[in-house]
Amino acid sequence: MKYIWLFMFLFINTQLCYAFDYKNACHYLDNISGLKTSEYKFDGYQDYYCCSPYKMLDNKSNIAYYTEGNKNIVKKVYLVLNVYNGSNKEKLHNQLIQASQMLSKKSINYTLPQSIINNLKIGKNGIWKHGEYTISVIRENFPNGNGYEIHFKIEE
């Protein structure tokens, strides 16, 4: 019986070590005006999430913060920056960098290296490992050609 308890203890601790506590993850960016999220909730299918409203950065471009996971843990935290043609891209990318640095520090206590910051600055795709976490920068052009979005993600 004691082996079953030991197994359960190790299994539970292993499961929680590299995931984010939903009670905290939804509030990592509360200090950034406009990125306060909703409460962690069921999506009606099988997953749970919380998200901020779109924070307008200029007339068209915006940023939002999201988490995704299951009932007990968040498995992914990420930012999405939508950049429309005619916007000040450098200013918008700098705002994404600031939010990404805060998210990285609060979620995994990691200071972003210059390589990730450089990719965010120019909107270049990249994937990095930090311990058990995967950090990615993903740029996708809008199908209509009116701009693009950049995702900054941290996943277990």
Tens of pLDDT, residue by residue over 121-131, are: 999 999 999 99
Q: For every one of its 156 residues, what pLDDT tens digit does the chain have, with 9 covering 90 and above?
A: 554 443 444 444 434 446 899 999 999 999 999 999 999 999 999 999 999 999 999 999 999 999 999 999 999 999 999 999 999 999 999 999 999 999 999 999 999 999 999 999 999 999 999 999 999 999 999 999 999 999 999 999
Is 13 part of any domain?
A: no
φ, ψ dihedrals at 9, nearest 5°? -60, -50
Is 138 part of any domain?
A: yes
Would you say how long the chain is, in residues?
A: 156
Number of compact structural domains in the chain: 1
Domain coverage including residue 23: 19-155
Confidence (pLDDT) at 1: 52
Say if CB 27 and CB 37 are below 8 A apart.
Answer: yes
φ, ψ dihedrals at 76, nearest 5°? -145, 135
Is 113 part of any domain?
A: yes
Confidence (pLDDT) at 9: 41
For residues 13 and 84, give the distance between their C-alpha atoms in angstroms, rounded to a whole number.
Answer: 44
Q: How many C-beta atoms lie closer than 10 Å to residue 103's C-beta?
A: 24
Give the DSSP per-residue string, 77-91.
EEEEEEEETTS-HHH
Is 4 part of any domain?
A: no
Confidence (pLDDT) at 19: 84
Q: How many C-beta atoms lie closer than 10 Å to residue 80's C-beta?
A: 19
Is 6 part of any domain?
A: no
> pLDDT tens, 20-51?
999 999 999 999 999 999 999 999 999 999 99
Question: In sequence order, which residues have a C-beta less than 8 Å from that of residue 16 and are 6 or more positions away?
Answer: 73
pTM, full prediction? 0.88
Tokens in use for 60? 């068209």
Q: How large is the greatest C-alpha to C-alpha distance in the chain, in angstroms?
A: 66
Confidence (pLDDT) at 18: 62
Is 2 part of any domain?
A: no
Say if CB 26 and CB 39 are below 8 A apart.
Answer: yes
Is 5 part of any domain?
A: no
Is 7 part of any domain?
A: no
For residues 151 and 112, give the distance between their C-alpha atoms in angstroms, rounded to a whole number.
Answer: 15
